[in-house]
Amino acid sequence: MREINGAEIILEILQEHDLNTVFGYPGGSVLPIYDALHSYREKIDHILTRHEQGAAHAADGYARCSGKTGVCIVTSGPGAANTVSGLMTAYMDSTPMLVITGQVSVNNLGTDAFQELDITGVTDSITKHNYLVRSIEELSDLLREAIYLTENGRPGPVLIDIPKDIQTSKMSYDNFQNSCSSEYNTVSEYKYIYEKPKKNETDEFIEMIRKSKRPVILAGNGVMKSNSSKELRKFSKKFDIPVATTLLGLGILPAEDRYNLHMLGMHGTAYANYAADEADLIIALGMRFDNRVTGNIHRFCKDAKIIHVDIDEAEIDKNKRADLHIVGDVNLVLKALLKYKAEGENKVWMNRVMELKKKYPLDRNFSTDYILPQYLISKISELTKGEAIVCTDVGQHQMWTAQYYNFNRINSIITSGGAGTMGFGLPAAIGAKLANPNREVIAILGDGGFQMNSQELMTISEYKLDIKIIIVNNSFLGMVKQLQEVFYEKRHSFVKLEKNPDFVMLGRAYGIDSYLAETPVELDKLLGEIFSKKRSALVNCIVSKEENVFPMIPGGKSVDEMIMSKEEL
């Protein structure tokens, strides 16, 4: 009788779900899985990162631009613990991700055995769900359920902890095959049903649009996740409604689209923030009124009625009370709304919006003989026509990327929005490139955050991934420096990175073509060069140290306290 062991079951089920790129790092309690990976190497690509955090972020980046679940395999204890930042990041941004952790054998559970960690306990609050598998019989059901959960309803990370002896236990292949679905369907009482919105809901929706004079759409990650870019574009045009997006919503409309107000919130464009503030109707689609978006929640869009569409019912009324809500998939809601007749244009409001756009553009005065970070991003945007996948780290460079990169395509900004995890950008770019070998992938990083996962340069080099690595080097933990300037009377406390390694030498040590750019002229030449080649490159861009991100609505404040430039500080 043919038999199959737990480790093989795991790989069979990954394959069954077409998940054949996995990121990971081996160790004692996943040895059986790694042994099986050796036999499955024709069918499953395993990418060895240099740190488990890198593996988790890479799986996240992979998921964000492939639409598939990102998979990460790590060993128990320290290996599992190293995925915590990755799980939190994925959880906050609703990335479908599966983390498989090895665990000590069942009979050692709870004994503080070598490398034992109660990882389900640790990750309860940063996973959509997690499991500790207790027998080989339940392994396949739980694993299938786990994968199902990652992507169904509101996506999110799921962790499954599998003791080593379960990886080596065997069952008959026939039993494994027959175990499919029957119980798994009943176990999974969680079934997100994608239903069309009810007619009375969409009737009321349209009625509220008709009654409003100054509607604004706020589009978030949910619009991206439900693949609704096309529908949103049609909808905003048909009903003549401008669209502001969250950080993760960038790219939902092409940058130049007339209706696109770009990002709103703390470092959003002034015109998006003013438009939202003047609105009498806010149509929030797949966004959750995060405080980086709203500032002072009580004063946010205080004169507006609010319609909230979200797949997660718990988001309704969580931060901001909605006058009408629809729980469901944004795509189905938009499709239903598109069936209604529009009342024609709303010239007065659109004129006002255009006026705001004209009056408060982003500052584009770049004529300096040193490199302005804003110039750097604009240049990259220009060179790649806003078509690249841009992975960022966290900090000022992230906000400048959001402001100055003209995102023209969906799933193109890969950034830690909800969690703000430094160290995310470089490994995420690895996942992004593997998911999209044919698109240009750029990692834009601060000199601080780059050093949090710079070991992943080796992964890029080893797998010959064509990733352009841009270090926005201001010798500061820039964003924190900015906060100290605004809130702590410019007392710079431990934010200066006086001693950085020589990034060019560092890049070269990992086998990556690396360059230094200190002036705009050098920069132009270098960027032109690296983007013309299909191989990875690193550019250490020395940018001005003084620059801060504007506009800025200081945390907890509202639009009327927006700071437009350093002169206003």
Ligand X SMILES: Cc1ncc(C[n+]2csc(CCOP(=O)(O)OP(=O)(O)O)c2C)c(N)n1
Residue 134 touches another protein, criterion: CB under 8 A: yes
**What is the rounded CA–CA span in Å between residue 481 and residue 12?**
49
Mask 228-267, x = binds another protein (CB under 8 A)? ----------------------------------------
* Minimum separation from the CB atom of position 422 to another protein (A): 23
Nearer to another protein, 124 or 387 (CB): 124
Nearer to ligand X, 452 or 460 (CB): 452
Phi then psi for residue 172, to 5 deg, are -75, 145
Interactions with ligand X, residue window 479-518 (CB under 6 A): 479-480
Which of the choices ligand X, another protein, none does residue 125 contact, using the CB cut-off of 5 to 8 A by kind?
another protein
**What is the rounded CA–CA span in Å between residue 401 and residue 329?**
29
Q: Are 288 and 269 in contact (CB under 8 A)?
A: no
For residue 266, how far is the Cα from the chain centroid? 18
**What is the rounded CA–CA span in Å between residue 405 and residue 397?**
11
Catalytic residue among 52, 151, 315, 456: 52
* Minimum separation from the CB atom of position 470 to ligand X (A): 11
Mask 357-396, x = binds ligand X (CB under 6 A)? ------------------------------------xxxx
Q: Where are the beta strands (DSSP E) in 205-318?
A: 215-219, 243-245, 260-263, 281-285, 305-310
Catalytic residue among 3, 43, 114, 545: 114
Which of the choices ligand X, another protein, none does residue 395 contact, using the CB cut-off of 5 to 8 A by kind?
ligand X
Which of the choices ligand X, another protein, none does residue 310 contact, using the CB cut-off of 5 to 8 A by kind?
none
Q: What is the largest CA-CA distance in the chain?
A: 79
Question: Any idea which residue has 């983007």 for tokens?
Answer: 531
Q: How many residues bind another protein (CB under 8 A)?
A: 19
Near ligand X by CB under 6 A: residue from 420, 486, 500, 511: 420
Residue 27 touches ligand X, criterion: CB under 6 A: no
Nearer to another protein, 195 or 313 (CB): 313
Residue 203 touches another protein, criterion: CB under 8 A: no
* Minimum separation from the CB atom of position 497 to ligand X (A): 7
Catalytic residue among 12, 53, 97, 164: 164
SS3 115: coil
Site stretch for another protein (CB under 8 A), options 67-75, 315-323, 452-460, 480-488: 315-323
**Strand 3-5 vs strand 170-172: parallel, antiparallel, or unpaired?**
antiparallel
* Minimum separation from the CB atom of position 129 to another protein (A): 4
Site stretch for ligand X (CB under 6 A), options 46-54, 217-225, 418-426, 556-564: 418-426
**Strand-pair partners of 447:** none
Residue 144 touches another protein, criterion: CB under 8 A: no
In this structure, which amino acid lies at residue 180? Answer: C
DSSP state of 370: S
- Residue 239 is a catalytic residue: no
Mask 111-130, x = binds another protein (CB under 8 A)? ---------xx--xx--xx-
Residue 421 touches ligand X, criterion: CB under 6 A: yes
Which of the choices another protein, ligand X, none does residue 472 contact, using the CB cut-off of 5 to 8 A by kind?
ligand X
Dihedral of CA atoms 450, 452, 456, 460 in degrees, nearest 10, equals -10
Catalytic residue among 68, 115, 183, 350: 115
- DSSP per-residue letters across 494-559: S-B------HHHHHHHTT-EEEEE-SHHHHHHHHHHHHHSSS-EEEEEEB-SS----SB--TT--G
**What is the rounded CA–CA span in Å between residue 211 and residue 283?**
13
Nearer to another protein, 307 or 322 (CB): 322
Residue 474 touches ligand X, criterion: CB under 6 A: yes
Which of the choices another protein, ligand X, none does residue 420 contact, using the CB cut-off of 5 to 8 A by kind?
ligand X
Interactions with ligand X, residue window 431-460 (CB under 6 A): 446-449
Strand order across the beta sheet in which 441-446 lies: 413-414, 389-392, 441-446, 467-473, 537-542, 513-517
- Residue 115 is a catalytic residue: yes
Which of the choices another protein, ligand X, none does residue 321 contact, using the CB cut-off of 5 to 8 A by kind?
another protein
Residue 313 touches another protein, criterion: CB under 8 A: yes
**What is the rounded CA–CA span in Å between residue 527 and residue 150?**
38
How many CA within 13 A on the CB side of residue 513?
15
Residue 316 touches another protein, criterion: CB under 8 A: yes
- Residue 358 is a catalytic residue: no
DSSP state of 363: P
* Minimum separation from the CB atom of position 340 to ligand X (A): 43
Alpha helix ranges (H) inside 26-181: 31-39, 52-66, 78-81, 84-92, 119-123, 136-151, 164-168, 173-178
Nearer to ligand X, 26 or 373 (CB): 373
- Residue 289 is a catalytic residue: no
Interactions with another protein, residue window 163-192 (CB under 8 A): 187, 189-190
- Residue 345 is a catalytic residue: no
Q: Is 454 left (phi over 0), alpha (psi -120 to 50) or beta?
A: alpha
Element (DSSP H or E) covering residue 468:
strand 467-473
Nearer to ligand X, 295 or 449 (CB): 449
Angle at CA of residue 61, ends 60 and 62, nearest 5°: 90
Question: Any idea which residue has 């969680």 for tokens?
Answer: 190
Residue 90 touches ligand X, criterion: CB under 6 A: no
Residues at the site binding ligand X, with contacts judged by CB under 6 A:
393-397, 420-423, 446-449, 472, 474, 476-480
Residues assigned a catalytic role? 52, 114-115, 164, 479
Residues that bind another protein (CB under 8 A): 120-121, 124-125, 128-129, 132, 134, 149, 187, 189-190, 312-314, 316-318, 321
